[in-house]
């Protein structure tokens, strides 16, 4: 590696970590924050682990509608700290009794908006998982609530602070790949063939299924074998009542990278197509059900001088594409840049014989993430009054890209997007899909 290359990497990594870690280490070292976790499953526990490791957070409460998740999380907490958090089924009761300084919202997607809005109204700063909500109007209500209460709301798009993402952004913005006119975002994990319906069963006694469904439609419960199977605890995103499929899950991370790196806010046009030719038509009866998210999808986003595409597919595995199965290709006049995850980034320069440039990732375990650094940025934002790196408004825009892609898929046609007003131009049918009715007694944000 050349001296110039080493200097570039050192500078970019320092720049990235300077977003939060050094300042927090020296600011108000004696101040701690009473912290509550709303949604105590696998990913919520990952976030809480980093909050505890910061040494700045006292774990006051855990919330989950599934007692099994609560007990498992509480057992993990006992390994890290001496705190004895109180356990709750309903986050609203927790907010009223505990009045935490910080709330982590790591519920399924359809609960993010109400939990975040209620938490900031109760006085808490919030770290909320992505995607921020299920519909566009929910996201706008979340931004408005954060601003009205003057609370810091950080979203868990931790790739914005991962060292190789930060240095890759610097490389692209300094013209390393030349002028970028197209970006392809993708997740290419293979599938396992046609989907067999799962039998609907009675929820376990430890799970309050009605509260789990909350403001979303109340589907029958179909077991808890996890991703690719039952709805709860990890399969929910493939059921469109509760998530927005792979585009709503993975897409938010990678489309956010595009907006962040290319410094864009919103596209002018959106078109998406896809379906379920492998998994088969969705089924929902009193006796059995399948998922209903598309097994493949392509979305195209038209900006003034940039074309962005999203692609996922769950057919057979695809070893023919030699790069990592997730990420973004930035196509430039000087070559092609791949921003990846567990394999870092690589630049493939134009012209035979030219040396590729590569940077390895620096990820934390478990689950190969950089929550630690994003949590440090969150604390610094609280203490200085600045906006966090993954501020709710910026990630609202990134989430909108995924939601608009799903909206176009449902309509079966393209839409024109006015990002300033957040409406589909001249399209009442499309605008009706920017929100949805909540199941009573829950009230859609802004309808009070």
- Exposure string of 49-85, with b = 16+ CB inside 10 Å and e = fewer, is bbbbebebbbbbbbbbbbeebbebbbebbeeeeeeeb
Is residue 21 predicted with pLDDT exceeding 80?
no
In three-state secondary structure terms, 290 is coil
Rounded Cα distance, 314 and 120, in Å = 38
Position 318 scores a pLDDT of: 65
In 122-182, which ranges are continuous DSSP H helix? 136-149, 163-173
- For all residues of the chain together, what is the average pLDDT? 92
Average pLDDT over residues 217-226: 86
What are the tens digits of pLDDT across the range 69-124? 999 999 999 999 999 999 999 999 999 999 999 999 999 999 999 999 999 999 99
Question: What integer pLDDT is reported at residue 300 of this predicted model?
Answer: 98
Q: Report the pLDDT averaged over residues 300-323.
A: 88
Q: How confident is the model at residue 11 (pLDDT cuts 50, 70, 90)?
A: very low
pLDDT for res 14: 39
The band of 310, judged by pLDDT with boundaries at 50, 70 and 90, is very high
What is the pTM for the complete model shown?
0.92
Predicted local confidence at residue 32, as pLDDT = 96
More confident residue, 337 or 323: 337
Q: Render pLDDT for 119-146 as a digit per residue (tens, 0 to 9).
A: 999 999 999 999 999 999 999 999 999 9
Q: Is the pLDDT of residue 296 over 80?
A: yes
Tens of pLDDT, residue by residue over 329-376, are: 999 999 999 999 999 999 999 998 899 999 999 999 999 999 999 999
CA separation for the pair 27, 268 (Å, rounded): 42
pLDDT tens digits, residue range 145-196? 999 999 999 999 999 999 999 999 999 999 999 999 999 999 988 888 899 9
- pLDDT for the residue 420: 97
pLDDT attached to residue 226: 52
pLDDT of residue 59: 98
Q: What is the pLDDT of residue 314?
A: 86
Place of tokens 């993010």: 112
Under the banding of pLDDT at 50, 70 and 90, the label for residue 316 is confident
Paired tokens of 298: 């392509």
What strands, in cross-sheet order, belong to the sheet with 335-339? Answer: 357-359, 345-349, 335-339, 326-332, 180-187, 307-313, 296-302, 269-275, 415-418, 423-424
What Rg, from alpha-carbon coordinates, does the chain have? 22
């Amino acid at each position: 590696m050349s001296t110039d290359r080493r200097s570039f990497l050192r500078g970019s990594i320092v720049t990235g970590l300077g977003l939060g870690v050094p300042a927090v280490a020296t600011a108000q070292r004696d101040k701690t924050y009473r912290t509550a976790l709303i949604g105590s499953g696998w990913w919520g526990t990952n976030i809480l682990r980093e909050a505890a490791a910061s040494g700045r957070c006292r774990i006051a409460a855990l919330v989950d509608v599934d007692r099994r998740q609560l007990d498992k999380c509480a057992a993990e907490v006992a390994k890290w700290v001496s705190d004895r958090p109180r356990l709750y089924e309903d986050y609203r009761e927790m907010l009223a009794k505990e009045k935490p300084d910080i709330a982590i919202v790591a519920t399924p997607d359809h609960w993010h908006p109400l939990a975040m809005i209620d938490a900031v109204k109760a006085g808490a700063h919030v770290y909320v998982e992505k995607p921020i909500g299920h519909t566009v109007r929910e996201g706008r209500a979340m931004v408005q609530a954060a601003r009205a209460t003057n609370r810091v709301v950080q979203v868990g798009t931790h790739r914005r602070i991962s060292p190789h993402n930060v240095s890759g952004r610097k490389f692209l913005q300094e013209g390393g790949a030349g002028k970028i006119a197209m970006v392809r975002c993708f997740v290419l994990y293979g599938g396992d063939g046609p989907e067999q319906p799962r039998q609907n069963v009675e929820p376990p006694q430890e799970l309050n299924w009605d509260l789990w469904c909350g403001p979303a439609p109340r589907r029958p419960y179909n077991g808890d074998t996890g991703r690719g199977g039952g709805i709860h605890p990890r399969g929910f995103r493939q059921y469109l009542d509760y998530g927005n499929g792979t585009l709503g899950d993975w897409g938010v991370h990678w489309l956010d990278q595009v907006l962040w790196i290319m410094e864009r806010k919103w596209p002018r046009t959106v078109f998406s197509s896809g379906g379920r030719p492998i998994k088969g038509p969705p089924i929902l009866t009193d006796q059995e059900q399948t998922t209903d998210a598309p097994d493949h999808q392509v979305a195209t986003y038209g900006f003034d001088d940039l074309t962005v595409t999203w692609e996922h597919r769950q057919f057979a595995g695809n070893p023919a594409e030699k790069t990592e199965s997730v990420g973004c290709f930035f196509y430039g006049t000087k070559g092609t840049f791949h921003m990846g995850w567990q394999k870092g980034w690589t630049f493939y320069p134009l012209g035979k014989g030219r040396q590729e440039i590569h940077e390895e990732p620096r990820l934390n375990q478990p689950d190969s993430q950089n929550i630690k650094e994003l949590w440090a940025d969150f604390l610094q934002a609280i203490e200085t009054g600045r906006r966090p790196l993954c501020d709710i408004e910026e990630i609202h825009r990134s989430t909108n890209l995924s939601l608009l892609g799903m909206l176009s898929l449902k309509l079966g046609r393209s839409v024109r997007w006015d990002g300033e007003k957040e409406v589909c131009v001249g399209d009442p049918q499309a605008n009706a899909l920017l929100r949805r009715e909540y199941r009573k007694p829950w009230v859609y944000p802004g309808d009070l």
